[in-house]
């Protein structure tokens, strides 16, 4: 459960960094340096999240599942 909370926190941080970059781009004071810094954070957090997901799947902490479960077949004997 802690791993899932960490993943959600990382996703929230990525969205906050993206929102900060949009505000820096469209805000009253257009600060390109702040926008570039926020986008750099977003990229770094996204890469870290991807690596953590790969490590979670490789170690077995996270279990992938199918979006659409397979159809069950009935075997007549």
- Sequence-separated (6 or more) residues with CB below 8 Å from residue 62: 3, 53, 56
The whole model's pTM is what?
A: 0.74
Tell me what pLDDT residue 10 has. 94
* The pLDDT of residue 44: 95
Could you tell me the CA-to-CA distances from 40 to 2, 21, 22, 35, 55 in Å, in that order? Answer: 26, 10, 13, 9, 23
Contact 10, 51 (CB under 8 A): no
pLDDT of residue 77: 62
pLDDT digits (tens, 9 = 90+) for 13-58: 999 999 998 888 888 888 888 889 999 999 999 999 999 999 988 9
């Amino acid at each position: 459960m802690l791993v899932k909370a960490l993943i959600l926190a990382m996703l929230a941080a990525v969205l906050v960094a993206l929102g900060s970059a949009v505000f820096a781009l469209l805000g009253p004071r257009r600060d390109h340096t702040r926008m570039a810094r926020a986008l750099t954070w977003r990229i770094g957090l996204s890469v870290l999240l991807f690596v953590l997901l790969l490590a979670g799947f490789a170690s077995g902490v996270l279990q992938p599942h199918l979006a659409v479960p397979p159809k069950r077949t009935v075997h007549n004997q």
